[in-house]
Amino acid sequence: MPRGNEFEPENAAASADEDDVTLAAIDDGLRDARADRTVGLEEVREVLENRWNDLKSGRVAPLDGKEAVDRLRQKSDNRRRS
């Protein structure tokens, strides 16, 4: 079973930011589900397979984890402002 990161007081701000991003994503998902904006399982499988094929073929490059989190934070901030 995966273990969580050890909590260290100096990392509290980063943990709070990660929590905000996670909670915003959950809120977005719940809002979409309530509005009946969900995607069927087959469509999800197709998208994932296409993404995997794009990665394997080199058409797209994987994102660094920090870059991905930064993009999500920016997207979340933009949504909060609008």
Tens of pLDDT along 35-70?
Answer: 988 888 999 999 999 999 999 999 999 888 899 899
Whether the per-residue pLDDT at 74 is higher than 60: the answer is yes
Calculate mean pLDDT across residues 21-41.
Answer: 88
pLDDT of residue 2: 56
pLDDT band of 19, cuts 50, 70, 90: confident
Q: Three-state DSSP class for 72?
A: helix
pTM assigned to the model:
0.42
Distance CA 79, CA 73 (A): 10
